[in-house]
């Protein structure tokens, strides 16, 4: 249960940062922002982590970039 809460809080944090740093306005609700942050973290984890499980700053930056890639992809496919 605590993992779900931690994922939601970190997803919200990453999603809000990605929406802030992405150029232009991103019209998403809170639930989609959390999903965006969690998805960005998962995307970055698949690409960059390679077995590291602890918190690190490059992982945070990679999660932010992963969420921004998801915003870009969502706009290209007309989902956002």
Query: Is a pLDDT exceeding 80 seen at residue 68?
Result: yes
Dig out the tokens for 60 from the structure: 């945070």
The answer to whether residue 66 scores a pLDDT higher than 80 is: yes
Instruction: State phi, psi for 77 to the nearest 5 degrees.
Output: -95, 5
Predicted local distance difference test score (pLDDT) of residue 10: 80
Q: Are the CB atoms for 52 and 59 separated by under 8 Å?
A: yes
Question: Tens of pLDDT along 15-56?
Answer: 888 888 888 888 888 888 888 888 887 777 777 666 666 666
Is the pLDDT at 2 greater than 80, yes or no?
Answer: no
- CB 66 within 8 Å of CB 41: yes
Compute the distance between CA of residue 4 and CA of residue 38 in angstroms, rounded to an integer.
11
4/36 Cα distance (integer angstroms): 15
At residue 28, the pLDDT reads 80
């Amino acid at each position: 249960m605590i993992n779900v809460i931690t994922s939601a809080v970190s997803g919200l944090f990453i999603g809000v940062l990605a929406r802030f740093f992405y150029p232009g306005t991103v019209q998403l609700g809170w639930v989609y922002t959390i999903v965006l942050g969690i998805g960005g973290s998962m995307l970055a984890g698949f690409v960059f982590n390679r077995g590291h499980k602890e918190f690190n700053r490059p992982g945070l930056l990679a999660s932010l970039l992963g969420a921004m890639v998801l915003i870009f992809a969502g706009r290209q496919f007309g989902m956002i």
